[in-house]
Amino acid sequence: MPELPEVETIVRDLRPHLVGRTLTRADLIRASVLRFADPATFQARTEGHRVGSVRRRGKFIHLGLSGGEHLVIHLGMTGTLTLQRRDEPRAVHTHLVLEMDDRRQLRYRDPRRFGRILLGRPGQLERSGALPRLGPEPLSPNFAQSGFAEALRGSGRQVKAVLLDQAMVAGCGNIYADEACFLARVRPDRRAHTLSRAEAGRLLLALPVVMREAVRLRGTSFSDFRDGFGAKGEAYEALFVYGRGGLPCVRCGGTLQQTRLGGRTTVYCNRCQS
C-alpha cells in the first residue's frame, strides 16, 4: 500500500505538470470509485475547472480546483495516478481519466479497488466523514510539538497499532511503522503506555527520519507502487526491517523476527529492540 513517502513522491511529481492546467475532459469510467458526490454531477463539476493546487494530507492526494472544490484521491492498496500522453494505450482497471488543456491525461488505475475518489468542498468532506480525521503530519516542522509522544504513551494498544492509526499520526502504514520502531529501538508489540518518555521521544524523532529518507529515494518499490510517471521507487533496498524477516539485522547481525500483529506482517530485531 502506498504510504506517506510514496504519496508524497506522486504529489511532487505531478504538481508542476498539473498546477495552472484546465481540465478539458473528465471520464469517470467506473462510477463506483467515486465515494462522495453524485457521479451524475462529476463531469460538470470538474470539466472546465483549473487545477490550483496539488497537495498531500496523510495518504490522500488533494487537487484543489477553481471554484473551491477538492478532487481527493486515495490509492488504497494498488492504486496508481500517472500522467500519460493521450495516445498511450489505456491499461485495464483504469477508472478515471482527466484530460488537460495540454492534451495529456491524468489516469487513475486500481486493480483491487480499495482506493477511492471524493469530490467536494474540504469542510463538507470532513463534516460528512468522507475524509477521516487525521493526526499530525510527520514531515511537518511542528511534528515534534504535536503531542504525538504524549498521545502514544496514553494508549493501551500495541505501538504498531497506534502507528497505523491515521488519527494518531497521518500517513504511516505497515512499512514505515516497522522501520520507525527499528530506528527507535522499540518493539512494535509493546503496549504503548509502557513506553518511557525517552522511548516515546525516540519514536517521535524516528518517524520523520524514515519518512524523509524514503521520500528522498522516491518511495518503496514494493509490489504495485508507481510514481507520477509510472516508474518504481528506490527505497526498498534501503529498508532496515520491512520485508527482511529471517535475514540478518543490519545493526547486530542477529536474525530478524517476523510475526503478525493485528493481521499485519511485522518484522523486528529482538536484540536491538526492547
Shortest Cβ distance from residue 266 to Zn ion (Å)?
A: 15
The single residue listed with the C-alpha cell 471524493 is 118
Q: Which of 3, 69, 137, 179 is catalytic?
A: 3
Name the residue number minimizing CB distance to Zn ion. 249
**Torsion over CA of 36, 40, 43 and 46, rounded to 10 degrees?**
-30
Minimum CB separation of residue 238 from Zn ion in Å reads 17
d(CA 248, CA 201): 27
Instruction: Considering the complex, state which of residue 253 and residue 263 has its C-beta at the smaller distance from Zn ion.
Output: 253
Smallest separation (angstroms) from Zn ion to the CB of 268: 9
DSSP-based three-state secondary structure for 124: helix
Q: Smallest gap, in angstroms, from Cβ of residue 204 to Zn ion?
A: 21
Q: Which of 8, 56, 59, 202 is catalytic?
A: 59
The CA distance from 64 to 139, in Å, is 21
Residue of 104, 244, 251, 264 with catalytic role: 264
Measured CA to CA, the distance from residue 34 to residue 71 in angstroms comes to: 10
Q: Phi and psi dihedrals of 235, rounded to 5?
A: -75, -15
Contact status: 271 vs Zn ion (CB under 5 A)? yes
Among 17, 244, 251, 264, binds Zn ion (CB under 5 A): 251
User: Which residues are paired to 160 by β-bridges?
Assistant: none
Positions in 211-250 near Zn ion (CB under 5 A): 249
Contact 82, 229 (CB under 8 A): yes
Of 2, 136, 138, 208, the active-site residue reads 2
Q: Is 252 in the site for Zn ion (CB under 5 A)?
A: yes
Q: Which residue ranges make up the site for Zn ion (CB under 5 A)? A: 249, 251-252, 254, 269, 271-272
Q: Which residues are catalytic?
A: 2-3, 59, 264
